[in-house]
Amino acid sequence: MIQKICGRIDSVGDDTVTLELGGLFYEVLIPSGLSQPLKNQAKQDLTVTLYTYHYIESSGNASSMFPRLVGFTVPSDREFFKLFTTVSGIGVRKALRCLTVPVRDIARSIENQDTALLKKLPGIGPRMAQKIVAALSGKAARFALSRSDRPLSIPDKKKVDFEDEVYDVLTQLQYKPAEVDALIKKALELNPKIKSTEEMVETIFAQQGEAVSR
């Protein structure tokens, strides 16, 4: 299990950073709000330390599995992220997109059993907000004490409003959160103009059928 990585910044994308350490290059997923600060550090050729969460990601049809790292600049942010992803239906990539308000505000909403703020997070509808409160109430109190008032992620303007409904449908069909993330991404790449849950699910099932027939 890789808990921390310290290296020179080789490149920074919108939601990834590549660190060079001893001649090896590690790609690490990051909350989108860390992209610009890390780009600033890269210009100064600085070494950066990321506190990482190591997980296994599957392809859309679960035919292959590979290790991934998610990185944070503060250990407590990593710990909250790990807790947040224990909620059924919230995969790693979805959790990253959700961090568009400060962690302390999300934690306070959970502990106060107030779903109003949670429902405003990307991909979180009323049903998922209630699920988050039910799963994490009593576990997020220490994160509510954080002094940081900065969100970790930047809202994705390309987000589809019905994504949470697609998650509900597919997780009920026993798809894993990581699989759902990959399937939604592929569906939007195939047809960026998808306008409804039904159209998204039909596109995903069509892709699954093509994969099976090959």
Tokens in use for 67? 């290790």
Amino acid identity, residue 149?
Answer: D
Please say which residue of 157, 179, 203 terminates a domain: 157
Angle at 107 between CA 102 and CA 109, to 5 degrees: 100
Pair (108, 141) in one structural domain: yes
Convert the pLDDT of each residue in 3-16 to its tens digit. Answer: 999 999 999 999 99
Convert the pLDDT of each residue in 189-202 to its tens digit. Answer: 888 888 788 888 89
Nearest to 78 by CA among 123, 20, 28: 28
Pair (55, 97) in one structural domain: no
Pair (21, 36) in one structural domain: yes
Q: Chain-wide mean pLDDT for the chain?
A: 87
**CATH code for the domain in which residue 105 is found:** 1.10.150.20
The mean per-residue pLDDT over the stretch 33-44 comes to 92
Helix and strand totals (H; E) in the chain: 9, 5
Max avg pLDDT among 34-38, 88-92, 205-209:
34-38
DSSP label at residue 120 = T
Structural domain span for residue 95:
75-157
Convert the pLDDT of each residue in 107-151 to its tens digit. Answer: 999 999 999 999 888 878 888 899 999 999 999 999 999 888 999
The mean per-residue pLDDT over the stretch 24-52 comes to 93
Pair (63, 18) in one structural domain: yes
CB 62 within 8 A of CB 207: no
Enter the pTM of the model.
0.76
Domain count, the chain: 3
Give the relative orientation of helices 126-136 and 75-84 as an angle to the nearest 10 degrees: 110
Neighbours of 108 (CB within 10 A): 18
Pair (81, 134) in one structural domain: yes
Pair (152, 167) in one structural domain: no
The strand pair at 65-72 and 47-58 is best described as: antiparallel
Compute the distance between CA of residue 206 and CA of residue 186 in angstroms, rounded to an integer. Answer: 11
Pair (64, 86) in one structural domain: no
H or E element, residue 49: strand 47-58
Pair (65, 80) in one structural domain: no
Pair (88, 143) in one structural domain: yes
Neighbours of 206 (CB within 10 A): 13
**CATH code for the domain in which residue 21 is found:** 2.40.50.140
Q: Name the maximum alpha-carbon separation found in the chain.
A: 53
Pair (91, 56) in one structural domain: no
Pair (55, 91) in one structural domain: no
Pair (141, 207) in one structural domain: no
Tokens in use for 66? 């590979």
Please say which residue of 157, 177, 193 terminates a domain: 157
Please say which residue of 48, 73, 98 terminates a domain: 73
